[in-house]
Each structure stands twice: as C-alpha cells, then as structure tokens.
Amino acid sequence: MSLAFDEYGRPFLLVKEQANKERVSGVEAQKVNILAALGVANVLKTSLGPRGMDKILTTSDNEVVVTNDGATILDLMDIDNEIGQLMVELSKSQDSEIGDGTTGVVCFAGALLEQATGLLDKGIHSTRISEGFEKACEMACSRLEEIADTIAVQGGDILLQTARSTLNSKVVNRDRDHLAQICVDAIMSVADLARKDVNMDLIKVEGKVGGRLEDTCLVNGIVLDKDFSHPQMPKSLKNPKMAILTCAFEPPKPKTKHTLQITSAEHMKELHEQEQEYFRKQVQQVKDSGADLVICQWGFDDEANYLLYRSELPAVRWVGGVELEMIAIATGGRIVPRFEELSSDKLGTCGIVREVGFGTTKDRMIFVEDCPHSNAVTLFIRGGNKMMIEEAKRSLHDALCMVRNLIRDNRIVYGGGSAELAASCAVHAKADAVTSVDRYAIRAFGDALESIPINLALNSGLDPIRALSDARKAQLEGKNPYAGIDCMDRGTIDMKEQRVFETLSGKCSQLRLATQVVKMILKVDDVIITKPDQEQQQ
C-alpha cells in the first residue's frame, strides 16, 4: 500500500493486487486487528505455568527447537500480519526489560483484547476503553505494591526460591535446585549491593555437548571454546603473564598491487628466510615483554605456530572480540594492536589457565580462572545434545534476570495467579466507585486479570471454575491475598506457604506493557485485508 496524489493534490491510496484486497475501517477494522492478535496469543496459552506444554518449531536452517519460552516461540514463528508483529514486539520488550514473563504478558494482552471486543459490541468507543484500561492498570499495580513483601537480599534464600520458581516451568526443571543455586552464585559474584546494580556483561554463558545437565557448573573466570594452537604446548599454566593481541603473526602486506617473480631456488630461499626473520622478530618481541601466554584475535600459519612452540610460548588463536575484551578486563591487561607497542606493563595475569578435554572426543576448552581484577564468571552448561543446551541457556537467562531484578528492587509478590487475583479483586472493588463509562472498561480489566489463573488451572489439569472460585473465596472471605492455583498439587493454595515468588517489578511491567500494546491496537481503525478465495469457500 502506498500514498499518491492526483492533479489537484488530493491524496489517494494505491493498493497492490487491489482486486484481491478489501479496505475495512471503523469498528470492523478494530475487530480484524483484535482477531489477528488473538491468533498469536492463543498459541502461547497452553505454554503458561509450570505444567504448560512445550512447542516444537523448525528454524529456516531446518533445526528443531523445543521450548516453552514465549519470546523464543514468537521469534521463530513466521508472522506476516502487522498486528501479530506487535505481539512479538511485546514479548521482546518484556524479555529485554525484565527477562522473564514473556508468555504471561502475551496471554494477558490477549485477554484484554477479548474483553475489548465485548465492549466494542456494546458501543463503547475505543478511546474510552483505552482510558479505562489505563486507570485499571494503575489500580492493579497499586494493589500489588500493597501486598508485596520486602526481602533481605544478603541471605540468599529468597533469591534461591525465586530462581527455583522461574525454572519450575522450564524444560530443565528436573535439576532446578542445582541450576538455581548456580544462578544465585553467579549474580552475587558480579553484583554491587551498595549501588543495587548487576553488570550482566560479566556473566558469560557457554555450553558444550556431552555429559549430563547435572554436570553444569559455575566457573570463576572465563571459558573459551578454543584450544592451544599446538598439541604439544603445556595444558596448564600457573600465574601466567598473558599478551592480548589484535595483530596477526604474519609478514606485513603491502597496500598496493605488486608482482613478485621468483626465477631461482636462491630467490625462494631468500624469501623464506625473510619470512622466517619476520616471525622470529615478532616472537622475540613477545618474549622480551615477559609474556608466558599469547591470546590472539587472529590466526597464524603452521610456520609461526611451530616457532611459538619452539620458543616455549603457548598461544591461543581466533579468540573473539567480546571474549578478548572480557579477558582484558578480568586479567588487567591491555589489548595491543602492534608488536612494537607490547611491553611488560600491558600484560594481564590470572591464577591459572588450563585446557580441559571432554571424554574421548577432540573437544577442548580453555579455562581462565582466578582473575584478580574482575569477578567475571561463566556458566558452563553440559547436555546430551545442542537442542538441550540451547534451551538450558534460555532458562538460565530468565533465572539470572529474575535474581538481578531482586537485587535492583527487593520486593516480591507471590505466584500461582495469586497476585493477579488480588489485583482483580481490588480493581472490581474500585470500579463500583467510578460513575463514568470507564467503569465498564475497568471491570473488563479485572476480568482479564482472572484469565491468568484460569489458564494455569487448565494447563495443570484442574477444574478451572472450581480452582478459581476457591482462590477467589480465600482472597475475599479469608482476607488472604496469597491464595492462588495449586498447580503442583502441594495440598495448599497459599502461595506464600508454597514459597512461589515473583518480582514486583516484573509483574507490574507485564501489566503496563500489555496495556500499552492493547491501546496501540485499539487505535488502529483502518486496515486492508485479503478477500477470501471464493473457490476455497465453496
């Protein structure tokens, strides 16, 4: 679709394949947009909660991905509709801001749009619906702040329980206790508790196929998916001084076009000797600086590799730029772009550098540990196949982000749908005091909040009506704002007793982001749709 102007300057629309397209405006267009968004939201409903279903997807490279992470599912789905893309962006925004809750935010946005459809049928204008939703969102967030508990971050027990709650709905939940402890230890290693900040760039996640998920460990240093350039170089170095180079071990190349004619064996020998002299000079410059280990961003050929081995100078080649920066920060070294600039004060140091092999395979990795200038850590994941490792990376990322959020804001609410039910009861109570048309939208927002516990009960195989009624009764009559859905059959609906935690910042972010996206969708009242094929209809 494009905009054009006639000879009088009046605009008109040009639509590609106009015979097969139809322009819809007003309430009908809003309903078309809502239907497109609901199609995306309904895909994720069955993945919500600790007993939610996993989705199996195929990438463009024919790789199979099995996951229940909302952001990953939507990212791999082929969605052409613009409104559907808004739901994808909603999930990405939640993932970027909070790190978890990507499935719940899309499901809640879908529930809001379902309620908006009924309000549009009653003749309420979309602007009034949006205003009512926004007022109700602030009411719900205020209620969540009232029932939130403030925790002590230093102890670590609440952090561990929050990480366990996050991993409870993931594929790796069978080993959630071990993985949750790793996540808490990683965050506490790089956290600045005085400033309430966490530098996530200092946490590197690396995986290697082989072993079991239980073999996943936390390395106090940096793990490189590399090996020493020569198989006879030493496999372990204690307190090495390392030169971090972005210059390659090779002769300099002229910048202009040139032609070299070799007419005799003496010329070839002379050229070889000159090349050897370049390599010897470069290796000697590294040795003169006092370096015991070379970490190079670029590769070098067998000639240079052999000279490094003969000079008893272990080397690692083809190290990525990000990893090179992390090593420089952690070891206190400087990244050197030229051999002439290399000196002893630019060398980094650490406790130990060792090469680790895995079983009978040729897979090897290098561990740079006990770095003095940084608390950088690496989560080293093991798994039976690449698919399991990738899903473990996504799961641990969510758990890391939730623990980080608690460091920044140490207020929690309780899961299992209890927070949504408490907010829903508060919104319904305050809606009665509103005398304008906004009352209907506020009540609809409260009804949409109940969709989360309903879906949790459905995915857990419970009777959703009975489970929701029991939880609501406990909240209203028992004055227990922590009553939710007993998804794991623990025998109690009190989520505080079950120790199921969520961060307050994450929950409020879900409500606000979903409300903003729904407002955007309701504002679109002009859309072009494809007409259904008459032969297919018949």
Whether residue 349 lies in the annotated active site: no
Q: Compute, in degrees rounded to 10, the torsion defined by CA atoms 471, 477, 481, 482.
A: -50
Query: Could you say which of 95, 100, 292, 398 is catalytic?
Result: 398
Q: Is 103 a catalytic residue?
A: yes
List the catalytic residue out of 67, 72, 102, 162.
Answer: 102
> For residues 257-292, b (16+ Cβ closer than 10 Å) or e, as one string?
eeeeeeeeeeeeeeeeeeeeeebeebbebbeebebb
- Catalytic one among 72, 103, 216, 515? 103
How far from the centroid of its chain's Cα atoms is residue 67's Cα? 13
Q: Are strands 501-503 and 411-414 parallel, antiparallel or unpaired?
A: antiparallel
CA 464 – CA 453 distance, rounded (Å):
8
Single-letter amino acid code for the residue at 409: D
Handedness of CA 53, 56, 59, 65 (dihedral sign): positive
CA distance 302 to 162: 51
Chain position carrying tokens 């018949």: 538
Please list the helix, strand and coil fractions of the chain in percent, rounded to the nearest 5, in that order. Answer: 50, 15, 30
The residue to which tokens 């009624």 are assigned = 469
The catalytic position among 67, 69, 331, 378 is: 69
Examine the residue annotation and report whether 69 is marked as an active-site residue of this protein: yes
Give the integer Cα–Cα distance in Å for 302 and 221: 30
C-alpha span between 125 and 120 (Å, rounded) = 7
- Residues with a catalytic annotation lie at 69, 102-103, 398
